[in-house]
Amino acid sequence: MEQYFRSALVAVLLLLIQTTFIPYVSVWGYLPDIFIPWLVYVGLRRGQVEATVSGFAVGLLQDLVATKFLGLAALSKTLSSFIAGYFYNENQIEQSLGSYRYVLIVMLSSVVHNTVYFLIFFQGVEGSLLMSVVQASIGTTLYTGVISVMPMFGFSQRYHTSWAQ
């Protein structure tokens, strides 16, 4: 029960950071999604079902606070955390979290999240839908991947693993 309370507290803290601080660190108009590294952590640590439920809850919370399309972030975060949960292996939790695999899983989850999100978000926009989706997805995914290097090094130090494994 304590881990669920702690997860809820982390989700609220990340939501506050995402909505207040992150808009100030925009690079060429792209913002990192700090929920994705956390959802990948949940997927690698606790498995697919818990990651999927966490993704839906966090996405719905983010929809209620920050976006126009109710349910869009919930859908995209649910799908991305479902994908992240595929990499759960209880024998390799520390090795996955403390190595470059964590960053790659974050980037894969981010690609899934951003593609679904922007495909729906950009409906009705003038110009090429596909180009807009690809451009926004790549920029946001790369930025989220760069941000996820910091927790990877933290996990590497905590679990005494080599990040290059």
Average pLDDT over residues 39-51: 89
More confident residue, 115 or 136: 115
* Cα separation, 156 vs 90, whole angstroms: 17
Fold assignment, 2-17+32-159: Arp2/3 complex 21 kDa subunit ARPC3 (1.10.1760)
In whole angstroms, how large is the CA radius of gyration of the chain? Answer: 15
Question: Is the pLDDT assigned to residue 30 strictly greater than 80?
Answer: yes
Question: Is the pLDDT assigned to residue 9 strictly greater than 80?
Answer: yes
76: confidence class by pLDDT, cuts 50, 70, 90: very high
What single DSSP character describes residue 22?
G
Min mean pLDDT across 11-25, 52-66, 102-116 is at 11-25
CB 72 within 8 A of CB 123: no
Question: Is the pLDDT assigned to residue 143 strictly greater than 70?
Answer: yes
CB 100 within 8 A of CB 152: yes
* Cα separation, 158 vs 165, whole angstroms: 15
What pLDDT sits at residue 75? 93
Average pLDDT over residues 38-57: 90
Domain locations in the chain? 2-17+32-159
What pLDDT sits at residue 165? 59
